[in-house]
Every structure is written in C-alpha cells, then in structure tokens.
Amino acid sequence: MTYNSQREPLSLREYGRTVQDMVDYCTQLPDRQLRQSCAETIVALMAKMNGGASQQADFQHKLWDQIAIMSDYKLDIDYPYDITQPEDADARPKTLKYPIHRIRYRHYGHLVEAMLRKAGQMPEGAERDELTELLGNAMKQDLFDFNRDAMDENKIRTDIKAYTDGEVALPEDFAFRSITGSKITEKTSRKKRRK
C-alpha cells in the first residue's frame, strides 16, 4: 500500500491527487493533438470543480495557468492564453512607499494638522472661523477617543494656537459640541447597565 506521504507532493492541492494524475498522464502522451484534447478535457473538469468561480473575468486564463503549473510547465500544447511563466509567478511585488508625516500630536492625526495649517494661511473671515470651529469639534472628538481623562477644551484652544503659531484661535464664547452621543460613550454605557 502506498501512502500519500510517500508520493510526490501536489503542486495545487485544491484539485487533489486524481487531477494531478490526469495532468501527469496528459504530459506523457506522445501525440500533440491527443495531448491538446486531453488538456482541454482536464480544464473542463477543473472548471466544473470551481463552479462558483466561473463568473470571474479571467477564469479560463487561470485554469490554463493552473494546468501549466500542475505539469511543472512541461505540458507541450497550444495554450489558448499566454501562460504566466514561473519567474513571473514567483516574483515578489514591489514594496509600497507609505507616506511618512511627522505629527506633533498623534491623537489628532495628520489631516487635522494639515487643515489647521491651511486655516492659518487663510485670510480672516467667516470661512476661516467656520473651518476653525469645525476643527475644534473634531479635535475634541479625537482627544476624547484617545483619552477621556485628558479631554480638556482649554487644551484644544491652546493646541490650535500652537499649530497655527498664534494666527488662528477659537472665539472665547465658542461652545464646543457635546460628544455624549459618540459610539464610545454608547458602548461604555451599555457595559455599565449590564453590571
């Protein structure tokens, strides 16, 4: 009796040993036309095994790539598609370059800092005041999400002045929006009720 652990390892396990044996048999056929017919039959069988994936745009191309992989690229037939070569299949993707920004206070994030710099460059007027008030409320929410105990409206006023080098400030009579309706507050209040 031969165990699977003693056999050659499968290149694509999802098709199983039977399909692998079919591909090996097809590779050894002497007649090219017979190999072509055998390969088309195997691909049709593989398509039936992957019934749900047949809606994908390049489904047939993937199947022909997979039969080439299963034959270790030794199957000499006329492929209907350009087969992905082994060096291309094993190639590592290029490393992504992530934007790196120096953030003064991480709990506010890069976008808030960028918007505060933009507000500092805007001329005085209603538009700049409205943007500053929106940013103040966003900063309050960020600070609350980061650390509720450190949430202080005076700190937000100071941070806005620090970011804009004193160019922009919230009005003294500005009333910050309440954040009791935040998701964090709702979650914690549910936990307290259960206890």
87-101 per-position pLDDT tens digit: 776 778 888 888 787
Residue pair 79/64 in contact (Cβ under 8 Å)? The answer is yes
Q: Tell me the pLDDT of the chain averaged across its residues.
A: 82
Six-digit token pair at 194?
Answer: 């259960």
- The residue length of the chain stands at 195
* CA–CA gap between residue 23 and residue 42 (Å, rounded): 7
- pTM over 0.75, yes/no: no
Q: Which long-range contacts (CB under 8 A, 24 or more apart) does 106-110 make?
A: 107/142, 107/143, 107/145, 107/146, 107/147, 108/139, 108/142, 108/143, 108/159, 109/142
Residue-wise pLDDT for 50-107, tens only, equals: 877 767 778 888 888 889 888 888 888 888 888 878 777 677 888 888 878 787 878 8
The predicted pLDDT at position 97 comes to 85
* CA–CA gap between residue 163 and residue 102 (Å, rounded): 13
Residue pair 108/75 in contact (Cβ under 8 Å)? The answer is no
Instruction: Name which of 11-25, 100-114, 130-144 the model is least confident about.
Output: 100-114
